[in-house]
Structure 1
């Protein structure tokens, strides 16, 4: 009676196990070769896609991996996507960054911001000739952007409260348009008496001839505050985080690719940022009752 070749059987089993493990690891590695990027939907989806396309191609070159833009339905979805590991990097406003920081128990990290975001501003606009200062908004109808927008809601509300104007108690009606360009449309179309939005979108719409500044005018511009940034989770591979940061910092308007990307991002250049820069935003949100 011949004895089975246990050594041969064991080798075959070992080979099969190693092969299966290799396939599984290859699958994980492949999954990790896609950087999933999103942005708060503060403009129309088509505009966000247009702005991101050249940046995505540039990041693919610098990182050596696929970069995929994942649109989200609202501001809250951008926060949940990053916190729940469905997104790897998100373009946040200051307030959504604070929300993500709190929601994740400090497990998100802002890596870069535009130079313009060190002293970002909001503008208040109207077509009503009787409105010339914040106090004139009492008894009027008004539009913010999204409820989670820094420059379209939180900071405008903060400056209104500082001027002793309560949007909820002193205004006739308050609406949320959902996006900065939608706020301009609401004011221009006479749906509300006035509104607030970020100065960057306002200047872009003026430059594109999409709004007539003689009809829709700015009557108040806020002081500066920290706003937008690119944020990643703190558990991102440090080498990948450094590559991402370096890629943004290397963007330069003197070459054609850098110029196109920076213009679409409405940026002079990108600079490093840190969590502490957004303490003013968190304080304003708590004072306005928007953070529990």
Structure 2
């Protein structure tokens, strides 16, 4: 199969409460309307909002609800993410569930949004998974995309489609749209970036193709984004270049350059930037004006 039907659900949800009933209704409605739907992708932390107090161990009760929902709808389902409690650590973890209800893959966000995503630990592994007869998918969550090495790591392992649940309600959303397109073209992949609508997020979800082209960009309101991804097209782009132009994955593969920034973890220049902490306010006085 060279096409894959995916729905991104840009939902209007509430913070600090259980949104699962609303999510379930919208997932089943999407499947009823589009019976050929293969997968649903939800936004980051959509079930309870960005509240670590809802963290659960995995496997857990909330993840099991999503497993049951995947069976009920007969689809692949990515739950966006949940806060996962593991001993003294809390991770921002995405689960991908197969149509038989089994958890096929989990991914812990490698780059929590520090210093604002307080108390959340960083994952240490990048996750890819195969859908038989379709292709290889990679998982990335929100702030991960700001680090191009993270998307390249997934593509280096063969990922063709990047599932990227996000939760953004800040003025930098427009910058993230450009990053989604840039990551897609640099890595010749589909990047499916699904944000929440108000009140959790500002919407503007985007799906970018392997040439960096905008396959779809949503507005700010709730929207069910149903698209057919063409894996044969993506593979042609990787083989021949987008519009017969650049072939960056082959050039990356063939380069003799050893990148210095990956040979050591510390940079004397970057160490001068100071600690990773919230910016402090200034003590304004009359003399300041």
Larger helix share, 1 or 2 = 1
TM range (shorter): under 0.3
Larger relative contact order, structure 1 or 2 (CA cutoff 8 Å, min sep 6): 1
State which structure, 1 or 2, has the greater radius of gyration over its C-alpha atoms.
1
**Which structure is higher in strand share?**
2
- Give the TM-score taking structure 2 as reference length: 0.23
